[in-house]
Amino acid sequence: MNFVTLEFAVFLLFVLALGWLLKDRPLFYTWFLLLCNLVFYASAGLFFVPLLLTVAVLNWGTARLLVCSPVLPFKRVDLRKLLIAVDIVLHVLLLGFFKYYEFIVLGMESLANTLGLTPGALSLALPMTDILFPVGLSFYTFQGLSYAIDQYRTPDTAPQSLKKVLLFVSFFPTVMAGPIMRANRFLPQLERPCCDSRAVHEGFALILSGLFKKVVVASYLSEHIVRDVFQSPEFYSSWTVLAAVYGYSIQIFCDFSGYSDMAIGVGRLMGYKLPENFRSPYLALNLQDFWRRWHITLSLWLRDYLYIPLGGSRKGNRTLNLIITMGLGGLWHGSHARFLVWGLLHGLGLAAVHGFQILKIRFLPVSDPSSDSADSAETPLQTLVRRLLHGLGIGCSWLLTFHFVSFLWVFFRAEDMERSLEILRRVFWFGQPGEGFMLMVIPAILVGLLIQIGGRRLFVAFVDTQERLSWPVQAVVLALLGGMILKMGPDGVMPFIYFQF
Amino acid sequence: MNTPDTSRPTPETLTPARTVYVYALAFFLMLFLDASRSSTFMEQLGVDFPPAAIAGQAIRTVATVSGLSALSRTETALVDRFTFERTLGAVPAPPSSSETASKPTGTVSSASLSATKPTTNSTASKHVPDFATLPTFGSDPRSDAQQPSESTNKSVAPDLTPHLKEQGVERSSPSEPKPSVSSEPAAKPRVLLIGDSMMMEGFGPVLQRTLRKRTDMEVIREGRYSTGLSRMDYFDWPTCLQELMVKYNPDIVVICMGANDPQDIIDTNKKRHHADSESWQKIYQTRAERLLEIATARGSNVIWMGLPIMSKEPYATRVKRLTRLQKAACDQNERAQFVDSSAVLADNKGAYTTFVTDAQGKHVRLRYKDMVHVTEDGGRLLTTSLVPYIEKALRGGRDTIDSADADATPTTLDTTPDTISTASTGAVKHSEPSEGGLTSDFGTIPLAPLVQLVPTQTAVPSLPQQTVASLAENDTVTAVQERQPRRLRVTSTLRGKEVPYLAYIPVSRPTGTSAVRNERFPVLYLLHGAYEDYDVWDKRAGTLLLELADRYRIIIVAPSCEAFGWYVDSPLVPSSRIESFILTELMPHVEKNLPVLPLRGAAGMSMGGHGAFALGLRHPGTFASLSSMSGVMDITRHPDQWKIKTVLGPLPANRALWNGYSAQYLLAVITPAEAPAMLVTAGANDKWIIQENRDFRDALRKQGFTYQYRESPGGHDWNYWMSELPQHVAFHAARLR
């Protein structure tokens, strides 16, 4: 069930209404919520519900065993390690089978080919099958794993009941595409959903903002420039290709952060606070900063459960750790070599930023602020020059970061290397002939950038206004804006019904 | 409201209960704001669950009454206002490349468009966004035949811009196959790709990419996700295609759709037809035929790409079935070629497969995980099997229309019917390789060039008497030399002047035997509408009529019959005796001076539709077939309109006279046995005459006449008539033999 469908709107209406009726009976309420989650997930495919249950049961069982392991006659620490290792391996296998099987087999075939072997025996040993990909698998396995690993790291906390773990893993706003929650933040909220009025106001505003980003900006850019240019870049002029590269940066931001906004907003309406996923990522001044703002829950997950166990910045080779983490993070996005390339390049970029920072500290020690004020002999001109230089530095680092990120998205999006290189060729050897693009693309890109600059302020102002209106008026305002947003969406095709087989 | 707190919250605070209220209120408000869509949706649901239909009705009513729909329209207008479409950043290739050829044509066309603008009376039509509602009989009697043509032009003008996003480089988009616009010698043939998600993902992009790499054509792709022919309520392909045809005027249309179609059809009477039922198949084929009619109405050729083999049941069987229906529909239309692609992506045993093994033994994925859509590799295979057909169609050109317009260079036609089979991959199946051609009473006649273009097609049933004709003698067929209708004059004593008329005569075949040289043809009298004169046919549809005359071997005569003559013998205006003129002066003149057979049909649009039926029904036996496009089937409904009373006098006083000329009343004086063949068509959006056409149809049905009636999207305008004209001529050609 896509969030931007009539079905989901009706579903949410039922969830909210019945949830409110059952609110005073916590036992019923949790069972009801669990049912909602399963219905929501089953709507994507009944076949995969057992998988969701498996992930929940695995992690619940691991956590349980971790706690009661003292009764077993082994040395405690080793057994705990073994348990968590088994859990992780099982999850990796699960992901590997459902998500990477084909990628691995095809990769091995290519490898065998380049080595001059016939892949015949290989393809017999590993038959190709049609494995459907269970929606959201990457998200809820990570979510579930984080619970088991946290239990391993903090052995003194009491394990949760199966019902709660299942509820956490399958929570319907996040089950499809995040944000990736942490059990220790989410489960306490299950006890008593907050009834903060402001949070609900924000929830409504978040849903609207998500709709706008996804339905208006992202789909416009996708329809009018990105898809066509990335499909066949050789027909477009350098200007168009450049616009498409920027356009895709904005599109993927609006698409994904729009989805996250809606998920968080839906969570707020139900009384839960979900973690923030995006914080104006394109305002970042360096790559490290970017990853602190982009898909925050994934970055944090990778940091806590991959980078730090690898040794982080203390043990081992920090650069290598970074590259491995980012490479695997890239591969997490999809089973295709291009995601690996994208991740590795980001890892390299991060390593370069780290290296630059070390150099900077060594060669450009931070001037003591006290000496700055003491040095009052600075003429106004010098102040001006210093400020200008500072501003220039910020501008340059912003430009560099934004372009680095944007051009790496090319590898992420273009379907094969040939097309990625064609896009880069068209941009770097500027002035290639070809077709133009719609003027409206520019405002769309600008809106996407301005959302990051002024979006927060606009959001707060909107919520403040809403807070001053009585609730029926609030509903009218929301409906008018919502209707407007849906009208601005792609025309001709109804954004609601979406039928598929 | 049971709030748990003792202190009542202020109205601004959102308690959990109010959250639900706000959400529900906003939800329903949005439903009403989008009433047009949501009520349609509910009414669809209502087929299985009647309360939903009532709810849908309720939504519509509430939205209208409460003014929410007006608000919604304001919102739409506001959104439209900020949508502008202009391209920038196009960089033309260096002059050596052939691509620059299209640049200057753009400037020419925009200049010609802006030149036409000031000459028109820029009244209300300027604000009319769609071109379907421009009446021919405008309220302004001064407007001559020129007016509709230009207002159509103007209203099409806004439509020229959107396609620039596809093209980048400006170029014109001729709205009609008129010589003035479409005769750009440098224009490359244009291929329009339409379809569902197959056209959007995998196959479509690869096909577009492949074709765009060639310099001998322009490619436009207009796919729509989740669409097809089963759910017209969700997306109306025929209407959309009609607009696309006007916008791009393509030479070849490639259609690939149906992946979403194996689902129940709900017809206009809200009746459900199960996807496996007989009636479903009938409806589906009719819809496919309708789509093909629209696609071919302007002389374009259609290549319908069938769906590849599918995996899951019952989906796969249904797809196979609808593929068969699509093919059957293509067989009905001589300009359509069906390409069966079901074997292209199948394995050696002809079964579904997701992977194939390439030459190096590596697996290649052909289908996405949904087992329906194709990957780029699968798309490449499909494209390879399709391209030969497109090449073939390109070589043939767009029948004779464009080649004649551009430059009278004789086009030598490729007449080897089996080159497709040899050029295409072995996996492609063909329709039965029977050669197309037809013979008539007048000897063996080759089909118009188009049929050689699709040589593997079975002969077309709508044409008179098909047998297998030898194609060997077509080897030297060249393009039609004479590209003008004959302009003749008849001295009319009744009307006291020389009356001009046009005669579209089929071109004589160059390698004719003597029998063929003395070929005689049936004749179709084509009657013009009010506010117009005979030359409107030439202006609007000249090339089309020439081509139709060739194709159907029929002479088409278009006489001048006064802008408000109404095809009657007027007791008031002595010179306005059109009925007698046609019967006693024009017809003998035609039969004396032109190579005609004693087989006559009458057709007309608007006032001419009335004329054809009035003449035909008043004088049984004169015409063997009658047809009306958007005809005024009952003049008594228009006592004060269109100057009918200037020829017949005021209605109340001359009731009998009016009734005597009204087609509706004339049905009472003729028996089904003596009635000629009748075809009545009207545009569904034609507010002027649609009701009386429907009533006329009901009368026909009630009284047991044999007739054909067709209502299709369109207005009282030349877009509609251009799309209908070929079918009308075909109708007469089939009856006049």
- As beta bridge partners, residue B683 has B712
CB contact under 8 A, B72 and A483: yes
Sorting pLDDT into bands at 50, 70 and 90, what band is B77?
A: confident
Can you give the pLDDT at residue A72?
54
Distance, in Å, from the CA atom of B305 to the CA atom of B325, rounded to the nearest integer, reads 13
Task: Inform me whether the pLDDT recorded for B469 exceeds 60.
Answer: no
CA distance linking residue A149 with residue A308, whole number of Å: 13
Please check the confidence at residue B545 and state whether its pLDDT lies above 50. yes
Q: Model confidence over B125-134: pLDDT tens digits? A: 333 333 333 3
Instruction: Give A423's pLDDT tier (boundaries 50, 70, 90).
Output: very high
* Whether A115 contacts B362, CB under 8 Å: no
CB-based contact, B93 to chain A, within 8 Å: yes
Q: Which tokens in the block code for residue A74? A: 């082994």
CB B543 within 8 A of CB B177: yes
**pLDDT (average), residues B622-636:** 89
Tell me the residues of chain A between 215 and 274 that have a Cβ less than 8 Å away from chain B. 224, 231-232, 234-240, 243, 269, 271
Beta bridge partners of B223: B195
What is d(CA A75, CA A69) in angstroms, rounded to the nearest whole number? 9
Are residues A492 and B86, on separate chains, in Cβ contact within 8 Å?
A: no
For the segment A413-419, the average pLDDT, to the nearest whole number, is 86
Q: Average pLDDT for residues B379-401, to the nearest whole number?
A: 77
Q: Is B365 on the interface with A (CB under 8 A)?
A: yes
Provide, as residue numbers in chain A, all residues whose Cβ is less than 8 Å from the Cβ of B16.
20, 23, 195, 271
Share of chain A above pLDDT 70, in %: 90
pLDDT for the residue numbered A122: 59
pLDDT at B8: 67
Q: Is B355 on the interface with A (CB under 8 A)?
A: yes
Q: Which residue of B has its CA nearest to A99?
A: B369
Provide the token pair at B587.
């017809």
Q: B418-433, pLDDT tens digit by residue?
A: 333 333 333 333 333 3
Residue A304 per-residue DSSP state: I
Query: Which chain A residue's Cα is nearest to B83?
Result: A440
Question: Can you tell me the distance from the alpha carbon of B686 to that of B294, in angstroms, rounded to the nearest whole number?
Answer: 18
Partner residue opposite A438 with nearest CB, options B87, B262, B376: B87
Rg (CA), chain B: 28
Chain-centroid distance of CA B580 in Å reads: 35
- Residue A69: the pLDDT is 61
Is pLDDT at B564 greater than 60 in this prediction?
yes
Average pLDDT rounded to a whole number, residues B289-297: 86
Residues whose CB is less than 8 angstroms from the CB of residue B455 and which lie 6 or more positions away in sequence, other chains included = B415, B416, B417, B418, B420, B435, B436, B471
**Distances in Å between the alpha carbon of B534 and those of B559, B586, B595, B614?**
6, 14, 21, 18
Instruction: Flag if A475 and B361 touch (Cβ within 8 Å).
Output: no
**With 50 as the cut, is the pLDDT of residue A500 above it?**
no
Average pLDDT value for residue range A329-346: 90
Residue A432: predicted pLDDT: 83
Of B86 and B30, the structure prediction assigns the larger pLDDT to: B30
pLDDT(B377) > 80: yes
> For the residues A312-335, what does the mean pLDDT come to?
85
Confidence of residue A281 (pLDDT cuts 50, 70, 90): very high
DSSP B599: E
Do residues B643 and B706 touch, judged by C-beta distance below 8 A?
A: no
Asked if the Cβ–Cβ distance from B84 to A440 is below 8 Å, we say yes
pLDDT tens figures, A129-181:
666 778 888 899 999 999 999 988 887 888 888 988 999 999 999 888 878 99
Min Cα distance B179 → chain A (Å) is 28
Contact assignment for B12 to A470 by CB distance below 8 Å: yes
Q: Which of residues 436-495 of A touch B (CB under 8 A)?
A: 436-440, 467-472, 474-476, 478-480, 482-484, 486-488, 492-494
Longest CA–CA span in chain A (Å) reads: 81
CA torsion angle B153 B158 B164 B166 (round to 10): -90
Tens of pLDDT, residues A260-274 = 999 999 999 988 999
Chain A interface includes B361 (CB < 8 A): yes
- Cβ of A23 under 8 Å from any chain B Cβ? yes
Token digits of residue A354: 């780290």
Please indicate if any CB of chain A lies within 8 Å of the CB of B226: yes
- Tell whether the model's pLDDT for residue A250 goes beyond 90: yes
What tokens does A307 get? Answer: 């980078």
What pLDDT shows up at residue B383? 92
Q: Percentage of chain B with pLDDT > 90?
A: 8
What's the distance, CA B573 to chain centroid? 39
The residue of chain A nearest to residue B68, with distances taken between CA atoms, is A480
Count Cβ–Cβ pairs < 8 Å, chain A vs chain B. 214
B363 touches A at CB < 8 Å = yes
Q: What is the mean pLDDT of chain A?
A: 85
Please report, rounded to a whole number, the percentage of residues in chain B having pLDDT higher than 70.
72
> What pLDDT band is residue B673 in, cutting at 50, 70 and 90?
confident
- Tens digits of per-residue pLDDT, A376-387? 667 888 889 989
pLDDT exceeds 70 at position B145: no
| A107 shares contact with chain B (CB less than 8 Å) | no
pLDDT at A77: 56
Tokens encoding A287: 């790559």
Give me the pLDDT at residue A249, please: 93
Read off the pLDDT band of A248 (50, 70, 90): very high
**CB-side neighbour CA atoms (13 Å) of B283:** 23
Which residues in chain B have Cβ-Cβ distances shorter than 8 Å to A205? none
Q: Which residue has the higher pLDDT, A43 or A343?
A: A343
Instruction: Considering only the beta carbons, identify the residue of B90, B240, B361 that sits closest to A237.
Output: B90
Confidence of residue A408 (pLDDT cuts 50, 70, 90): very high
- Confidence (pLDDT) at B139: 37
Most distant pair of Cα atoms in chain B: their distance:
107
CB contact under 8 A, A497 and B234: yes
pLDDT of residue B135 exceeding 50: no
Confidence of residue A89 (pLDDT cuts 50, 70, 90): very high
Res. B397 pLDDT band, cuts 50 70 90: low
Do the Cβ atoms of B63 and B69 come closer than 8 Å? yes
Nearest to B566 by CA among B592, B517, B530, B522: B530
From chain B, pick out residues whose CB is under 8 angstroms from the CB of A483. 29-30, 33-34, 72, 75
- Is residue A170 within 8 A of residue A139, CB to CB? The reply is no
> How far away is chain A from the Cα of B13, in angstroms, using its nearest Cα?
6
- Asked if A478 lies within 8 A of B26 by C-beta distance, the reply is yes
Give the highest mean pLDDT range of A408-417, B5-14, B107-116, B450-459: A408-417
Confidence of residue A358 (pLDDT cuts 50, 70, 90): confident
- ipTM value: 0.84
Q: CB contact, 8 Å: B163 with chain A?
A: no
Q: Between B18, B165, B361, which is nearest A471 by CB?
A: B18
Nearest to A433 among B87, B94, B240 (CB): B94
Instruction: Say if the Cβ atoms of A496 and B37 lie within 8 Å.
Output: yes
Q: Do B361 and A432 touch (CB under 8 A)?
A: no
Whether residues B26 and A130 touch (CB distance < 8 A) is answered with: no
Contact call for residues B300 and B252 (beta carbons, < 8 A):
yes
Query: Residue B508 half-sphere exposure, CB side, CA atoms within 13 Å?
Result: 12
pLDDT for res A35: 93
Mean pLDDT score across all residues of chain B: 72
Q: Rounded to an integer, what distance in angstroms lies between the CA atom of residue B196 and that of residue B208? A: 14
Residue type, B261: D
* pLDDT (0 to 100) of residue A334: 82
> How far off is chain B from A117, nearest CA to CA, in Å?
10
Q: What is the mean pLDDT of residues A394-414?
A: 93
Judged by CB atoms within 8 Å, which residues 11-30 of B form the interface with A?
Answer: 11-27, 29-30
Average pLDDT, integer, range B691-720: 85
More confident residue, A205 or B110: A205
B5 touches chain A (CB under 8 A): no
Q: Do B30 and A482 touch (CB under 8 A)?
A: yes
Tell me which of A246, A474, A481, A499 to substitute to probe the interface with B (most B C-beta atoms closer than 10 Å): A474
The pLDDT score that the predictor gives to residue A369 is 52
In the prediction, which pLDDT does A418 show? 87
Report the alpha-carbon distance of residue A51 to residue B115 in Å, rounded.
67
Stretch 469-488 of chain B: residues touching chain A, C-beta under 8 Å: none
Residue B95 has what pLDDT?
57
Residue B359 touches partner A, C-beta closer than 8 Å: no
Range 693-732 of B in CB contact (< 8 A) with A: none
B159/B193 Cα distance (integer angstroms): 18
